[in-house]
Amino acid sequence: MDVVGFRSRLPTAFLLSGLVAATIVLLEPAKSAVSNWSDIGIGFSELFAKLAAPFAIAFFCMATLATLMTAAAPRRAIPMLVALYVALWAQGNLFVWDYGKLRWLAHRLARAFR
């Protein structure tokens, strides 16, 4: 793959990496926080401040993976990242299940952030 083609795909790969990381680390916890606001007891800005470091780590990991995918399979990398983002979004917004014991774990984690 030529350098120009690689460099032209990187901004898209980084944007998709940011969307995937934000969906996992920021948007899903924020959606849970809004629906259970009385149980959490912290402010919205405080919640996002606590999630800034995990988001940075998730973004770095996804950006590294996207860069490696773009270098290895340039024509398949962007569609695979789009598919990953759509799958994560659909699982979080359309296929909402009762997680049973995982719900208890989420409640325990929410209490730990107080």
How far apart, in whole angstroms, are the C-alpha atoms of residue 14 and residue 114? 32
| Whole-number percent of the chain with pLDDT over 70 | 82
How far apart, in whole angstroms, are the C-alpha atoms of residue 109 and residue 32? 12
Angle formed at CA 61 by CA 55 and CA 62, multiple of 5 degrees = 85
Average pLDDT in the chain: 79
On the 0-12 / 13-18 / 19+ scale of CB atoms within 10 A, 106 is middle
User: Region 30-51: what's the mean pLDDT?
Assistant: 78
Number of folded domains in the chain?
Answer: 1
Is the pLDDT at 17 greater than 60? The verdict is yes
| Residue 12 lies in domain | 3-112
Is the pLDDT at 1 greater than 60? The verdict is no
User: Region 101-107: what's the mean pLDDT?
Assistant: 60
